[in-house]
């Protein structure tokens, strides 16, 4: 019984450490520099810990970090709405060190604005 308890404790600690490592804070993004980008979706992934899309603005491609998939779905942003080739507009903050990454506050798909935060 003791070895089972130790194994369980080790597994729980490993999961907690993994979650802490995988999730990042938002301080890496410049919230004083709001950007609005419109582009064509190159790819979209709705997986934990955050959904993300890559859009091509014509000038460059941006990796756009969205809210977690559970929140995007709860707010009405379903994966089938941001498929490859769709046009979207995102409003958010650029990463301070990664020049082609943006943290989205909202995304506009068609005529619908979806608040992500």
Dist. CA 70–CA 7, nearest whole Å:
30
- In Å, what is the CA distance from 110 to each residue of 10, 48, 87, 114? 47, 25, 8, 11
For the entire predicted model, the pTM comes to 0.78
Q: Taking the mean position of all CA atoms in its chain, how far away is CA 47?
A: 9
pLDDT score recorded for residue 26: 77
Kindly state the average pLDDT of the residues 54-73: 96
Kindly state the average pLDDT of the residues 24-46: 93
Kindly state the average pLDDT of the residues 106-117: 94
pLDDT score recorded for residue 7: 65
Judge whether residue 60 has pLDDT over 60. yes
Task: Judge whether 29 and 66 are in contact, CB under 8 Å.
Answer: no
Dist. CA 30–CA 48, nearest whole Å:
23
Least confident span in 19-28, 85-94, 96-105: 19-28
Dist. CA 55–CA 41, nearest whole Å:
4
> Across-strand partners of 43?
54
């Amino acid at each position: 019984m003791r070895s089972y308890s130790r194994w369980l404790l080790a597994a729980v600690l490993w999961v907690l450490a993994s979650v802490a490592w995988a999730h990042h804070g938002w301080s890496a993004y410049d919230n004083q520099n709001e950007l609005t980008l419109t582009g064509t979706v190159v790819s979209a992934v709705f997986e934990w810990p955050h959904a993300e899309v890559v859009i091509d603005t014509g000038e460059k491609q941006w990796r756009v970090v969205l809210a977690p998939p559970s929140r995007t779905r709860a707010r009405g942003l379903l994966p089938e709405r941001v498929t490859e080739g769709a046009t979207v507009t995102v409003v958010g903050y650029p990463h301070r060190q990664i020049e082609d990454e943006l943290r989205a506050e909202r995304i506009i798909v068609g005529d619908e604005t979806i608040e992500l935060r």
